[in-house]
Structure 1
């Protein structure tokens, strides 16, 4: 039996997190969604699971890049240090941003951890594309 897909949203905008959760649940009610409002919390969340419960790591991370204190880019650099190759391979990390700067897309391409950069809002079409990354690597 396949375990349900788990998506972790890391974005400092609580309203966006609620909207993303609704879009994801409308797309597939079986998906487990968790959201955190800071990169620091996201890193702690992952660190605890890596140490204590690696099978509870998310399958997908949707990461905003423009956040206070620790940006999404800083998050990715810390994530890279924390995760083993096996754990990082399991998790598909996507940037979900309101940024319209082409430099952000270029920067996202430089991080091997980032599967793709998407522009907000989250849509069912984006989720279909995320699904293809999960199927491709199942």
Structure 2
């Protein structure tokens, strides 16, 4: 039996979160998908899991970078402080953004936690690429 892949979407756009959830479920109905609408909620959620249910940590995080209050970049810096090396190795973090700025791709490359930057919308081709990081 293969284990279920857990995906956490962190994006302030609820419509995008619904679309991403549908694309993920169409790609693999067995994937567990959770979405949160702010970096703050994402950090609080992960902190709670680390303390109380580390086995429930997501396998994949899809993170938007342009969010109010705490940007995706700020999220990554806080995430880095919170996660142990083992936990952050387990979780594959991907930036999923509508940004077309090449500077964002360059910045993503500077964060060891970020596996890759993808441009919205999420597609089955992107999910195939993400799948390769999990195997």
Length-normalised TM-score, structure 2? 0.99
In the TM superposition, structure 1's runs of 4+ consecutive aligned residues that sit over 3 Å from their partners are none
Tell me whether 1:4 sits opposite 2:9 in the alignment: no
Unaligned ranges ≥5, structure 1: none
The alignment yields a C-alpha RMSD, in angstroms, of: 0.4
Give CA deviations for 1:86-111 in whole Å, capped at 9, x if unaligned: 00000000000000000000000000
Alignment of 1:73-92 (within 5 A): 73-92=73-92
Alignment partners' CA distance in 1, 2:130 and 2:2: 18
Alignment partners' CA distance in 2, 1:41 and 1:3: 26
Q: How far is the alpha carbon of 1:76 from its aligned partner? A: 0.0
Unaligned ranges ≥5, structure 2: none
Give CA deviations for 1:13-68 in whole Å, capped at 9, x if unaligned: 00000000000000000000000000000000000000001000000000000000
Tell me whether 1:111 sits opposite 2:94 in the alignment: no
Alignment partners' CA distance in 1, 2:34 and 2:89: 20
Q: Which residue of 2 aligns with 1:36?
A: 36
Q: How far is the alpha carbon of 1:3 from its aligned partner? A: 2.0
Q: How far is the alpha carbon of 1:69 from its aligned partner? A: 0.2
Q: How far is the alpha carbon of 1:2 from its aligned partner? A: 2.9
Alignment partners' CA distance in 2, 1:104 and 1:94: 13
Aligned residues: 135
Q: Which residue of 2 aligns with 1:64?
A: 64
Q: Helix, strand or coil for the counterpart of 1:35? A: strand
Length-normalised TM-score, structure 1? 0.97
Alignment of 1:44-59 (within 5 A): 44-59=44-59
